[in-house]
Amino acid sequence: MSVEPETSPEMSTAEVCDAGYQALAAAFPGLETSVFRGQRRVVVPAASLAEAMRQLHQAGFDLLVDVSCVDYLEYRGATSRYGLVYLLANTRTNERLTVRCFVDDPEPTVPSMVPLWPSANWLEREAWDLFGIRFTGHPDLRRLVMPEEFTAHPLRKDYPLQGRGERHNFPVISREQS
């Protein structure tokens, strides 16, 4: 391995089952990777995300645990604004891998993972809803928790925690209209 990970007591577990990651590293040399508290993380550029995830799916990562997003707007030293986080797991070997992919503002877009893992469906809808990340190839990219009429993406760092006014944007539906 080319990386010098941080020393941590749980590191050995990451060394043991690393097969899926090794397969990815062989196919995509030069990926930025690190280990923290025994967790293997790898950064994949958005351009090769689809291909890399397909390889990981074939390498045995059959469970997509989570798709989430981090807005690095106020994060010290961050170069990209959004970081997508894919948590993968292999249910046979219990290997875990965190795939991160950075995208930037005008049109943050990544390929959808629904064709590989159907579980990505709602998770990606949530990331679209709360962060405004577009997932190309998603079959049904609607808002998940916020109402359809909502215009903002509330988990972005430039959306305030408190404030008034948002409710006035909602249409009032009378009993006759409903």
Partner 1 sequence: MSIATSEPLSQSADPATASRSEEYLWTLNFGPQHPATHTTLRLVLKLEGERVVDAMPEMGYLHSGFEKIGEHLSFNQYVTVTDRMNYISPMANNVAWHHAVEKLLGIELTPRCVYIRTIVAELARISDHLLCNGAVGLDTGAFTFFLYAFQQREMIYDIFETLCGARFTNSYTRVGGLSQDITPLVVEKIRAFLKTFPKTLADMERLLTRNRIFVDRTKGVGVLSKADATARGATGPIARASGVTRDLRKDEPYLAYNDFEFDVPCATAGDCYARYLVRMDEMRESLRILSQAVENIPAGPVDVGIDQRIARPDKKQVYSTIEGTISHFELSMSNRGFEVPCEESYAAIEAPNGELGFYLVGDGNETAYRARCRPPSVLHFALFPHLIRGHTLSDIVAVLGSLNIIAAELDR
Minimal distance, residue 155 CB to partner 1, in Å: 6
Measure the N-to-C terminal CA separation of the chain; round to a whole number of Å: 61
Token representation of residue 51: 């291909």
Would you count residue 172 as binding partner 1 (CB under 8 A)?
no
Q: Which is nearer to partner 1, 41 or 54 (CB)?
A: 41
Mark residues 64-103: x for contact with partner 1 by CB under 8 A, - for none.
Answer: xxx-x-xx--xxxx-------x-x---x--x---x-----
Give the DSSP H/E element, type plus range, for residue 160.
none
Stretch of 20-28, 48-56, 58-66, 102-110 lying at the interface with partner 1 (CB under 8 A):
58-66
Q: How far is the CB of 86 from partner 1 (least distance, A)?
A: 11
Q: Quick one: 95 exposed, middle or buried, by C-beta within 10 A (0-12, 13-18, 19+)? A: buried
Distance CA 23, CA 95 (A): 13
Name the E strands within 37-154: 39-43, 63-71, 82-89, 96-103, 109-111, 134-136
**Residue 39 touches partner 1, criterion: CB under 8 A:** yes
What proportions of the chain, in percent to the nearest 5, are helix, strand and coil?
A: 25, 25, 50
Query: Taking CB under 8 A as the rule, which mask of x and - marks residues 106-125 in contact with partner 1?
Result: -----------xxx-xxx--
Quote the tokens at residue 4.
Answer: 């010098």
Interface residue list for partner 1 (CB under 8 A): 8-9, 36-37, 39, 41, 62-66, 68, 70-71, 74-77, 85, 87, 91, 94, 98, 117-119, 121-123, 126, 130, 143-147, 154-155, 161, 173, 178
